Amino acid sequence: MPIETGTKAPGFTLKDQNNQEVSLADFLGEKHVLLVFYPFAFTGVCEGELCGIRDNLDAYQSDEVQVLSVSVDSPFAHKVWANQQGFEFPLLSDFWPHGAVAQAYGVFNDEKGMANRGTFVIDKQGVVRFAEMNLPGEARDQGAWQKALSELAA
């Protein structure tokens, strides 16, 4: 089960598709974070979801909100995928220790060695304000994310 709303979000530092370190702490006090875990790059449902973010980036990312996506893929796989798909938000690698951040958020699938489809909205103080988890193959309702983000803005 994913961590619950109202709890402090576990901190992390992961490498993005440009092999640069990105930390949740980078945004504390500055921006809310939409944190999107997905199983694997180059897969149908994952690609559809991240393309949905890409195509509606203004609805998710702003001066007040940062999108961060996470999978167990390597930064090198993320680089190729980001270039192919035009993703302009961080694709973070939870490659090693394998799935440690997904485990901390309660969305790691031990049986399959990947993250389930976990989504979290984290406020500027680092508190989880929205949490959901879908299983592999189950696409998420991105309207719920937009609603959670708009509630933070109110």
Confidence of residue 1 (pLDDT cuts 50, 70, 90): confident
46 classed as catalytic: yes
What pLDDT does residue 136 have? 81
106 touches 114 (CB < 8 A): no
For residues 90-116, average pLDDT = 97
Kindly give, in sequence order, each residue whose CB lies less than 8 Å from that of residue 117, ignoring residues fewer than 6 positions away.
37, 38, 39, 45, 49, 107, 133, 134, 135, 136, 138, 139, 140
State the catalytic residue, choosing from 36, 46, 65, 68.
46
Transcribe 102-119 into DSSP letters.
HHHTT-EETTTTEE-EEE
pTM for the whole structure: 0.96
Domains of the chain listed by start with CATH number:
13-153 (3.40.30.10)
